Structure 1
Amino acid sequence: MTVRRFAALPAIMLSAVLFGAALPGASAFAQAVQRQVPDSRQQIVLSYAPVVKRVIPAVVNVYASRTDRRPQNPLFDDPFFRQFFGQNGRPQTQQSLGSGVIVDSTGLVVTNNHVIDGMTEVKVALSDRREFEAEIILRDPRTDLAILRLKGGKDFPALEVGDSDALEVGDVVLAIGNPFGVGQTVTQGIISALARTQVGISDYGFFIQTDAAINPGNSGGALVDMNGRLVGLNSAIYSRSGGSVGIGFAIPVNMVKVVVATAKGGGRQVRRPWLGATLQSVSREIADSIGLERPAGALVADVIEKSAAEHAGLKRGDVITAVDGQAVEDPESLGFRLGTKTVGGTAGLGILRGGKPIMLPLKLQVAPETPPREEIKISSGRSPFIGATFVNYSPAVAEEYSVEQVREGVVVVDVADGSNAQSLGLQKGDVIVSINDAKIGRTKDMEQATSQRRLFWQITIGRGGQLFTTVING
């Protein structure tokens, strides 16, 4: 608080000098300020050093790697051939560099999932140069978060966790991480915006925007307030050059808390409440048609049968404006608000129905896995699906793989490298709806359809809420 108070004085003085005639009492205030002579070093020297010293021990560098061993032709065992063709077939190592934050004295570290995605070995370096091997205990791709546990050691320095909902635009923040691998670095800025959506970084598009310099390698690092509390996890930048241009994005710490709590409880997968409704943004035209003053909220376009939304009494045409008193600006912010809630409780939904505000109680329950997954992997035959793994569609699978709009078919949950399915362009989360006009409702239908040899394959796929059809030769 001292930093803020003293930092504000020059701006107040400047306003008094430039705009004194427009501000009642400004001239008198300026004279009063000018009469005050600093009587201590603390009143002259302003520094973020006390905050940095408290925070830096809990911010770490994360080094992740994976070694791929490729098959080697027996000829390369002969030194004669190696001198002409090199060391073909030797192990190849991929590496990733990022940052992380110790959030528990037992050695729990939170970082970005993309820092350790696909990696098998992780090392963590502390600011005092101690290094520890780390185990990946939880991955949450939907939020781009992951939790590591340090091996060995105890009583680690942990960062105090704050409240991202208490932030305001203009608050001073510090970003700490390891940009470009140069070593631990601190940058300063302000909160430029809150609740940034449509960023495209994760399924929960709800980010803190800051102008504190964030660069590659900062991913997973700490965004802290002037009390030294973690308020966000630095995740991405907007840049055309690859360097910082003053637009960085951090995951709000209130979402981080949910993932950390799951890891502390021994969970391997984060369980989040399921609404069970199709939502869309409120446009200016929609707002005018239903009597809203401004285009804000999440419009209910459809309600799934037997879902939490149906049980709560939501109807098509309702506009969700708040969750437990927290404003909802669009479907993304609604997803974030529900995603930070604990399964098993109840949330109050603020609704506009027919222009009148009402409150509905929403039971916070997970999406049902009905029907069961019945996983299959296509590994033989002559189909373009060889190398893909499929499960039955269910609300739980749709939530896990971010399936939109499509509500029937089989969902792609894995695609092997170098397989026919990869050549076809299949991706995780794709839904196979039909093959040669035959409906694919369950994995057994998929298994039967791909067991037959065909002259051509007409495939209807759901992706990103859209259906498209492709035809390839058999």
Structure 2
Amino acid sequence: MTQETSPTNTPRRRLSVRAGLLAGACAIAVVGAGVTHYSDFPVAIANAQSAQPQGGQSLGGPPSFANAVDRVKPAVVSVKVKVESAAVRGGDIANGDGEDNGLPPNLPPGLRDFFRQFGEPNGGGMPHGQMRPRGHQYSQAQGSGFFISPDGYIVTNNHVVEHGVEVQVTMDDGKTLDAKVIGTDPKTDLALLKVKQPGTYPFVKFAKAQPRVGDWVIAVGNPFGLGGTVTAGIVSARGRDIGSGPYDDYLQIDAAVNRGNSGGPTFDMNGEVVGVNTAIYSPSGGNVGIAFAIPTEVAANVVESLKDTGSVARGFIGVQIQPVTSEIADSLGLKDAKGALVAEAQPGPASDAGIKAGDVIVSVDGDKVAGPKELSRRIGSMKPGDKAEITYIRDGREQTVTLKLAALPNDKTARADAQDENAAPAGGFGLALAPASSVDGAGSQGVVVTQVDPEGPGAQQGVKQGDVILEVAGHAVSSPSEVKQALADARKGGKKAVLLRLKTGKDSRFVALAFPKKDRG
């Protein structure tokens, strides 16, 4: 992902990545509400006020998007941001540490690793380690945005305006306005601006209904600084997790979206915003029909909080969570590998209510929770002080408690351990053990892993030298002999896998290790 630069700057470095943010700033399309459903087509878009015809969509598609575009296009703006950076490498903003190959410093959480995974070394820019002199240097980031109120509030992406010292927006009629940043939310990559000049501005509304996969959508924005560009497509998928943060829940659309579309809106056929454009998947750096947008149900709540307080306060229950693998489900006696396994209950509402490590949270307010990401999003979408009914499984039985949510600390997120849910270890465990109290720095509780066979299932499941085993099959252990006894008891009980609770540094997690078939009861 690169940042757009003004024509007078050094040519923009081509970052050869397989996925990237849209604007230099880039864009994420918030898609998620009020679309006319596929079964309702054909829609007479040329006469949006007329009743929709009966029957399915004609093979030729809707006759025209023109009338819908005429209604919404005046509310869409181009966003230009003067960005101060410590160093510039090959025309792109760099963080000056000489280690990120010219990646912009204002990437949303998690996307820096995303680029490292899919990008090429140095990204085709200047040789590694070579950069322009440090100091006050500026480049111009370009993105998109849209008015959401007649008094001049504008929604865009956080990565479009982050580190900006000046912000200007250009309306569809060419008028340029100065704007200020009201608030940002890096965790969802959203930002709220307000123009400084008083007046009455054209605006659009967030849709209230979620779109279905296959619904038509229209994206309007400022790709490559061209301004006022309209593209159309459908919702390709919902609930996408691209690893950008703890609350990923993107819409995938196939409307053409490119760098500069970041922060721009995606509309349904009623002219209501269903998404905010944010990221694309691209082998070439250009559009290949896979774009990601923040759904309206996420964006609307965040924008409301930013408008009221300039920040976002999220709910917090105080648990570290991880996926329930098939091995973990078997070791806990669960029917399905679903829910969020509590690796550690930290001080907070959950532990106060009796939730502890080893419990599996399966629903919030009666709605099923498929995994850790869903639980993080559900709790994160609620406000401190809200009450939530949490259902969890312990010892094969469901229990329910009602919690009053605390405020998520600024330096924390609702953590979902990025463990491979499909991992399936086999064979011997390949671990050498010693009492934690006998190893400097390992603490006084548990059994420390002193050696790991790199070919063994322990290593395959992420067990590392220095990890401390706190529990085996739900029983606390303090010596290697207790570990062996707990394993033997699990074998005699006919378990196919044994559940270990590990501590690495300050973090705890569960790992399920499968017994060899000949050792199973």
TM-score by length of 2: 0.57
Aligned residue for 1:316?
357
Q: Which amino acid aligns with 2:145?
A: G
Q: Does 1:213 align with 2:256?
A: yes
> Following superposition of structure 1 onto structure 2, how do residues 63-102 of structure 1 map, counting pairs within 5 Å?
63-66=80-83, 92-102=137-147
Secondary structure at the aligned position of 1:142 is classed as coil
Q: Does 1:172 align with 2:216?
A: yes
> Following superposition of structure 1 onto structure 2, how do residues 283-362 of structure 1 map, counting pairs within 5 Å?
283-305=325-347, 307-362=348-403
Return the match for 2:406 from 365, 384, 393: 365
Q: Does 1:277 align with 2:312?
A: no
Gap runs ≥5 in structure 2: 1-35, 44-54, 88-132, 418-439, 444-465, 467-502, 507-521
Q: Which amino acid aligns with 1:268?
A: G
Looking at both structures, which has the greater relative contact order when contacts are Cα pairs under 8 Å and sequence separation is at least 6?
2
Whole-angstrom CA distance in 1 between matches of 2:233 and 2:361: 33
Return the match for 1:227 from 249, 267, 270: 270
Secondary structure at the aligned position of 1:322 is classed as strand
Greater CA radius of gyration, 1 or 2? 1
Return the match for 2:193 from 138, 148, 151: 148
> Following superposition of structure 1 onto structure 2, how do residues 92-171 of structure 1 map, counting pairs within 5 Å?
92-163=137-208, 166-171=210-215
Q: Does 1:60 align with 2:95?
A: no
Deviation at 1:2, TM superposition (A): 9.0
Taking a change above 3 Å as real, the CA distance of residues 3 and 289 of structure 1, as seen in their structure-2 partners, is closer
The answer to whether the 8 Å contact 2:246/2:416 transfers is no
The answer to whether the 8 Å contact 2:38/2:214 transfers is no
Deviation at 1:45, TM superposition (A): 6.5
Aligned-residue CA RMSD (Å): 3.5
Gap runs ≥5 in structure 1: 9-32, 71-87, 368-395, 406-435, 440-459, 469-474
Aligned residue for 2:229?
185
Secondary structure at the aligned position of 1:104 is classed as coil
Whole-angstrom CA distance in 2 between matches of 1:224 and 1:353: 45
Return the match for 2:303 from 260, 263, 266: 260
Taking a change above 3 Å as real, the CA distance of residues 403 and 285 of structure 1, as seen in their structure-2 partners, is closer
Deviation at 1:228, TM superposition (A): 1.9
Q: Which amino acid aligns with 1:66?
A: V
Q: Does 1:242 align with 2:285?
A: yes
Q: Which amino acid aligns with 1:296?
A: K
Q: Percent identity?
A: 40
Whole-angstrom CA distance in 2 between matches of 1:64 and 1:44: 38
TM-score by length of 1: 0.62
Deviation at 1:65, TM superposition (A): 0.7
Secondary structure at the aligned position of 2:304 is classed as helix
Q: Which amino acid aligns with 1:243?
A: G
The answer to whether the 8 Å contact 1:319/1:353 transfers is yes
Secondary structure at the aligned position of 1:254 is classed as helix
Taking a change above 3 Å as real, the CA distance of residues 115 and 44 of structure 1, as seen in their structure-2 partners, is closer
Q: Which amino acid aligns with 1:286?
A: I
Secondary structure at the aligned position of 1:61 is classed as strand
- Specify which structure has the higher proportion of helix: 1
Q: Which amino acid aligns with 1:300?
A: V
Q: Which amino acid aligns with 2:260?
A: G
1:108-137 Cα shifts (integer Å, max 9, x gaps): 111111111111100011222222100012
Whole-angstrom CA distance in 2 between matches of 1:139 and 1:466: 33
Whole-angstrom CA distance in 2 between matches of 1:127 and 1:94: 24
Deviation at 1:94, TM superposition (A): 0.9
The answer to whether the 8 Å contact 1:3/1:46 transfers is no
